[in-house]
Amino acid sequence: DTAVSQTPKYLVTQMGNDKSIKCEQNLGHDTMYWYKQDSKKFLKIMFSYNNKELIINETVPNRFSPKSPDKAHLNLHINSLELGDSAVYFCASSQGLGAFKETQYFGPGTRLLVL
């Protein structure tokens, strides 16, 4: 009955590889997000989607490409991985448009280590 789930939980890979992280929410929410948490625990938004439409696209290298096949899923594909991509990536979801005081529900995170 996990609300926001991510796979994999851990990802260790070599520089230059391409990898994907998957996120699913069963809360019926319309909006999903990707955040990056660096080694100093600083958390910054990368993308948000509403009903499969990209809404927020922060200054993120275009090696990062989010994809939302339906409103319950938001995947993150990363091409040509670099050392600086090592971080914890969190998926989150919230109810929808117009309610800017909503709670965001976070997944458990995917710990990416690029060697």
Partner 1 sequence: AQSVTQLGSHVSVSEGALVLLRCNYSSSVPPYLFWYVQYPNQGLQLLLKYTSAATLVKGINGFEAEFKKSETSFHLTKPSAHMSDAAEYFCAVSDPRYGGATNKLIFGTGTLLAVQP
The nearer residue to partner 1, 41 or 62, going by C-beta atoms, is: 41
Q: Is 104 in the site for partner 1 (CB under 8 A)?
A: yes
Q: Is 113 in the site for partner 1 (CB under 8 A)?
A: no
**Alpha carbon of residue 104 to chain centroid:** 13
- For strand 110-114 and strand 10-13, is the pairing parallel, antiparallel, or unpaired? parallel
Least distance to partner 1, CB of residue 51, Å: 9
What is 30-48 written as a DSSP string? SEEEEEEE-TT--EEEEEE
Using the contact rule CB under 8 A, the part of the chain among 12-20, 62-70, 73-81, 94-102 near partner 1 is 94-102
- Of 6-65, binders to partner 1 (CB under 8 A) are 30-31, 40-45, 48-50, 55-56
Amino acid type, 79: N
Contact residues for partner 1, defined by CB under 8 A: 4, 30-31, 40-45, 48-50, 55-56, 90, 92, 94-109
